[in-house]
Amino acid sequence: MTVLVTGAGGFIGGHLIGSLLRDRVSVRAVDVKPLTDWSQLHAGAENISGDCSDLNVARSVSADVEQVFNLAADMGGMGFIETHKAECMMSVLINTNMLTASRQAGVESFFFSSSACVYAAEHQTDPDVTALREVDAYPAMPEDGYGWEKLFSERMCRHFREDFGMTTTVARYHNVYGPDGTYDGGREKAPAAICRKVAEAVLFDRPEIEIWGDGEQTRSFMYVDDCVRGTRAIADLGDGDPINLGSNELVTINELVSIVEDIAGITLERKYLLDAPQGVRGRNSDNTLFLKKHGWEPSTSLRSGLERTYDWILCKRERAVV
């Protein structure tokens, strides 16, 4: 089998390719970024720099492929998606063209990486949030821009399955983090941002940390190894209905900061930026459906995953200083 991974230069894509290669799967990897900018570049894969929002590129990379993992998207943390809504929406071209090209190429299985941002805001107004079930995506009122693109692309997958008989699968990712992810530059998500800020406090003897909002907003965070395992399980099962893929370990952002402070052995003065982008007030993943279908659920503890993530980011920042 030859497997195509789009968004291969990104965080999750790099880890997924590593997992596939360890299982001796033949991988074609494509990303719009130059190869030198990829998060991980695996020598064992066929690595291609190309823009899959171009139908001709999508057709070229889909040729002679049995399975597609479409992870490509223009995205980032809340600070990015709240200020780049049009750019996030444009990612719909990637999924539309990849579905079209995959159908024309006779691809056997097509996986699409969706997001918890598809869920209606009315279910996420309280920090003590009820975990989100898959059915809570409708009636639809997702995150503006990024969430709408993901929800529309989910529907595209559904209709390609219903109209053309393609095997399509969809995972709704909930806040993935871990080593080799973006940790600065504006696209980073909360765990990486907090790890970077604490690492810089240690390295530069800074006694304070900036926190977006009041720190009482809640989230669950999934370690990347669980994400990769779950992604492959969902794709292999071939069930087309969207399914949550996330941890159900709910924490406040203040608790997240405290865990990283404890890992680093430091206590910082907290400065709250109440006008910064914060997203919904509370979000957690209901894993009932995933557990029923697969017999397990993401279980890497937040503490354990953050230890590995913090150590990686601290090392990167130390090297930058030198």
pLDDT value at residue 322: 62
End-to-end CA distance of the chain: 44
- The two structure tokens encoding residue 215: 């720190």
Dist. CA 312–CA 223, nearest whole Å = 14
- The two structure tokens encoding residue 19: 């997992």
Strands 2-6 and 67-70: parallel
Domains of the chain: 2-176+222-245 (3.40.50.720), 179-219+249-285+301-321 (3.90.25.10)
Strands 222-223 and 176-177: parallel
∠ CA 178-182-187, rounded to 5°: 125
pLDDT value at residue 1: 84
Using a 10 angstrom Cβ sphere, with 0-12 exposed, 13-18 middle and 19 or more buried, the burial of residue 308 is middle
- Is 183 labeled as catalytic in the residue annotation? no
Going by C-alpha positions, the residue among 220, 223, 219, 73 that lies closest to residue 148 is: 73
Sites in the chain below the pLDDT cut of 70: 322
pLDDT, one tens digit per residue, over 143-201 is 999 999 999 999 999 999 999 999 999 999 999 999 999 999 888 999 999 999 999 99
- The two structure tokens encoding residue 301: 């503890």
DSSP state of 132: B
Please name the residues in contact with 150: beta carbons below 8 A apart, sequence gap of 6 or more.
Answer: 114, 115, 117, 118, 142
DSSP state of 211: E
Q: Which residues pair with 270 in a beta bridge?
A: 209
- Supply φ then ψ for residue 64, to 5 degrees: 60, 35
Question: Which helix (H) or strand (E) segment is 220 a member of?
Answer: strand 218-220
pLDDT, one tens digit per residue, over 258-272 is 999 999 999 999 999
Please name the residues in contact with 304: beta carbons below 8 A apart, sequence gap of 6 or more.
Answer: 223
The active-site residue, picked from 119, 146, 173, 223, is: 146
**Treating both helix axes as pointing N-terminal to C-terminal, what angle do 302-321 and 253-264 enclose, rounded to 10 degrees?**
60
pLDDT value at residue 57: 98
pLDDT value at residue 319: 85
